[in-house]
């Protein structure tokens, strides 16, 4: 396999990114992927193969809620919204992530 220039997501960080994206308001799956893509300055690319399983998992866990609605181009689309439980989960995950990244930086700085 050729080495890819775009970094792959660490296991577990996708949930955090999705929740973070949804904090800006409800959006559909494609918008979530785009949002993450743009916010990372096009460094991260979320593929549908990992996005949808993650969305379904989060919905089942009660971190996000889904509702059908109409998209900007008048198409039927499923909109996701963060829930209270999701916000709590996000705070926890963010805490874990910042600890991890600080720790990794520290190791790499020496």
Partner 1 sequence: MRRLLLKFLRRRTLAEDLETELAFHREMAAANDNPIRLGNISAIKEHAFDQWRFNFLENLWRDFAYAVRSLFRSPGFVLSALLSLGLGIGVNTAMFSIATEFLLSQPSVADAPSWVSIYLGDSNHANQQAIDFLAQSGVFREVVGENWESFSNWNDGRETRRIFSVQTTGNYFSALGVPVALGRGWTSHDPANVVVLHHRFWKKYFNGDPSVVGRLIDLDGRAYTVVGVLPEFHRTLIGYGLSPDVYLTSYLPDTLLEIYARLKPGMSLGQARAALRTVAARLDESRPDPYKKYASGLRVMPLAGFARLKQEQAATPLGLFFAVLLVLVSLVFLIACVNVAGLLLVRAASRRQEIAIRLSLGASRGRLLQQLLTESLLLSFLGAGLGFSLAQLVAKLLAAIQLPVPVPIRLQISPDWRVVTYAAVLAIAATFVVDCCPPGNR
Site residues (vs partner 1, CB under 8 A): 28-30, 33-34, 47-49, 52-53, 55-57, 60-62, 71, 73, 75-78
Are residues 79 and 66 in contact, defined by beta-carbon separation less than 8 angstroms?
yes
| Nearer CB in complex with partner 1: 23/48 | 48
| Nearer CB in complex with partner 1: 1/60 | 60
How would you classify residue 102: left for phi > 0, otherwise alpha for psi between -120 and 50, otherwise beta?
alpha
CA atoms within 13 A on the CB side of 14: 21
Residue 30 CA to residue 4 CA, distance in Å, equals: 22
Closest separation between CB of residue 72 and partner 1, Å?
A: 10
Tokens for 72?
Answer: 């900007």
Closest separation between CB of residue 110 and partner 1, Å?
A: 37
| Nearer CB in complex with partner 1: 13/71 | 71
Closest separation between CB of residue 28 and partner 1, Å?
A: 7
């Amino acid at each position: 396999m050729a080495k890819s220039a775009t970094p792959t997501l660490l296991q577990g960080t996708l949930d955090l990114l999705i929740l973070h994206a949804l904090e800006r308001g409800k959006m559909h799956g494609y918008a979530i992927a785009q949002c993450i893509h743009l916010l990372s300055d096009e460094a991260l690319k979320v593929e549908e193969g990992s996005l949808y399983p993650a969305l379904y998992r989060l919905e089942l866990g009660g971190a996000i809620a889904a509702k059908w609605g109409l998209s900007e181009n008048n198409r039927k689309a499923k909109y996701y919204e963060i829930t209270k439980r999701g916000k709590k989960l996000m705070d926890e995950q963010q805490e874990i992530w910042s600890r991890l990244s600080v720790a990794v930086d520290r190791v790499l700085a020496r």
